[in-house]
Amino acid sequence: MNPLLEKFNTKYTSSPFSDIKEEHYLPAFQELIKNSEKEIDEITNNSEAPTFENTIEAMAFSGEQLDRVSNIFFNINSAETNDEIQKIAQEVSPLLTEFSSKISQNEKLFERIKNIYDQKDRLSLNEEQQTLLNETYKGFVRSGALLNEEDKKKLEKINMDLSIKSLQFGQNALASTNAYFKHIINKEELKGIPEAILQQYEEDAKERDLEGYVITLQYPSYLPAMTYAENRELRKELALANGKKSFDGGEFDNQNLIKEIVKLRQEKAELLGYKNYADFVLEERMAQSPTKVFEFLNELLEKATPYAQKEIEELKSLAKADGIEDIQSYDHAFYAEKLRKQKFDIDDEELKPYFQLEKVQEAVFGLAGKLFGLEFKEIDDVQKYPHDVKTYEITENGNYKALLYADYHPRKGKRAGAWMTSYKNQYKKDGENSRPHISVVCNFTKPTKDTPSLLTFQEVTTLFHEFGHALHGVLADTQYPNLSGTSVKWDFVELPSQFLENYCYEPEFLKTFAKHYQTGEILPTEKIEKLSQSKSFMEGYQTLRQLGFGLLDMAYHTEVGALENKSVKEFEVEKTAATNLYPSNPETAASPSFSHIFQGGYSAGYYSYKWAEVLDADAFQYFKENGIFNPEIAAKYKILLSSGGTKNPMELYKNFRGREPKVESLLKRAFG
């Protein structure tokens, strides 16, 4: 029996992780694709005249089990992968791409959709139904429904190649990250690194049956070494290893894949009638055009550069006092931490005991309760994937609202970074409001035998960020699964996550949870004030760094053929020159591990982080002016979150704020 092909007879129909074996996935996908094809055939060949209900709505609810299994499999591939799972992914991705192409190129089905779309002004559809109809029609057109047969076949092949190459890119980046570790016997080489971090390095060494200490390229291991290690040669070696990920000409090198992916995306855009891939992508974004994105990024670049240069000059002065005349990028975190301590008397390691993971989670749960009336209860009767994942039942006024999976610690099969994802979307059908299953995934330091998991302040903001995404999913209240939760315009999706980060800097909120894990003592008031003041510390540098990634992403997807006669490194250096504050190392490059744009969904969309910062700064300013827990404003914001993709995001924002967002709100927060 294959549990993926059965009805999930579990609490809240949750994913039956414990029952799933690797050999279940491929047969399940094959069977469910067949079933979904039958559903589509029934819609296509319906003898009745096409209506919104028997075509558009029927399509929105088709393939539900295939979607569930896809979510399970690809989430596991990110959070708990292994060689076998990755091999299955290589087999499954083309099957799903082929299935998707068959639907989008089904002429008879498109005729039905077009028939309904052409008479949309005469139909009595509500706003959400109109959105679904428009999105369905546009989705088909953008997938090649208006192409001739020859071009449809070309597009199908391009999509297939892209799915395989993007998957390979991610697998290479993960393998390259896991392939490196630095083994150190002599503790003296680790001078400056806090004892709690050294314990973590000892644990990592023991896991490899080694004496001494091991530093990896996983974020909780790598960043503390770069921040605290007085040994400059160690910092240099680690930075070099990190910058060489998938860029060393070895087995996991991604440089050729980048060129192939970019070329395929350009071919796809031209085939569909667009000048370049960015034009194709941005048609469906708030920004709408590459011109607007470049104007936005360059405006911020002009404003932020003087601040960034001033910050680097301060770091250079500190480095000079240590006899370093040629400060490099691998010195940045070390001297930035020194400067932060000097300016604000803040030391991340000194703060960490006040940010025990469990207490930070309680705080973010409490905030969701205060703003939106949600309650969280840990439950043990839901199956999990690895043992350290925790599950929570979320309720509102005593009624079940959502299921939450919290997966907080690194492991070998888990990709780096932090993300929110969904195992099941929310939707309404047959009188039932089917609730979502949401997951928050991070890579925080594991507890040791003596110490619980203690977070840096940056990790505190990371948890709030991902939980902001989670709330977008949890509060979803739409009719259709494909308009639910985070199914919004890509440059709108970061608003809820970045908005929630603002609370981490509010003294009245910080006092409620920043408590020493051993003594229960509240973080001293002066430290809280300093932490709040430090919000804009190194904001110029961070802004230029993000703008560099945004400009690089846009360059890859607007400059046709620009890569053909250049190396990836040459292209990257040229396109980020205006944002680079340190000399470029010829042995390192960011692009070959830039998974956001070559594996994830941020291609021609990385700018959206900064775009959403304007939205979140403007939204939080509204709360600041009226009280950060103001119930009336929270109620309006809850409507924005629960609406998902049912309305134009600017309309949603204006309904909440009473006007369009202002870029001045971000500049004021960042630079005063």
Q: Which sequence positions are flagged as catalytic?
A: 466
Helix 83-104 × helix 149-179 angle, to 10°: 160
Q: How many CB atoms lie within 10 A of CB 89?
A: 21
Rounded to 5°, the CA angle 551-556-559 comes to 100
DSSP state of 53: I
* Rounded-to-integer distance, Cα 618 and Cα 558, Å: 30
Residue-by-residue DSSP string for 509-537: HHTTT-B-TTT-PBPPHHHHHHHHHGGGT
Which residues are paired to 216 by β-bridges?
A: 181
- Chain centre to alpha carbon of residue 520: 33
* Residues ≥6 apart with Cβ < 8 Å to 119: none
Distance CA 609, CA 490 (A): 10
197-217 burial, b at 16+ Cβ within 10 Å, e below that, comes to bebbbbbbbeeeeeeebbbbb
Tell me which DSSP letter residue 428 carries. E
Closest of 218, 182, 171 to residue 443, by C-alpha: 218
Burial (Cβ within 10 Å: 0-12, 13-18, ≥19) of residue 34: exposed
Q: How far is CA 256 from CA 549, 589, 592, in A?
A: 19, 14, 9
- CA 426 – CA 646 distance, rounded (Å): 13
- As to burial, measured by CB atoms within 10 angstroms (0-12 exposed, 13-18 middle, 19+ buried), residue 232 is middle
Angle at 210 between CA 233 and CA 198, to 5 degrees: 55
Residue 465 token pair: 């960020």
- What are 369's two structure tokens? 């309760």
- Helices 539-558, 255-271: crossing angle, 10 deg rounding: 60
Nearest of 588, 584, 581, 563 to residue 573 by alpha carbon: 584
3 state SS of 366? helix
What lies within 8 Å, CB to CB, of 303 at 6+ separation is: 667, 671
Whether the CB-CB separation of 79 and 441 falls below 8 Å is answered with yes
d(CA 434, CA 170): 33
Per the structure block, which two tokens stand in for 182?
């630095």
Contacts of 530 (CB under 8 A, 6+ apart): 344, 345, 346
Cα 360 versus chain centre, distance: 20
Three-state secondary-structure class, residue 407 = strand
Rounded distance between C-alpha atoms, residue 563 and residue 307, angstroms: 32
Instruction: Kindly state the helix (H) or strand (E) to which residue 113 belongs, with its residue range.
Output: helix 107-118
At residue 10, the 3 state secondary structure works out as coil
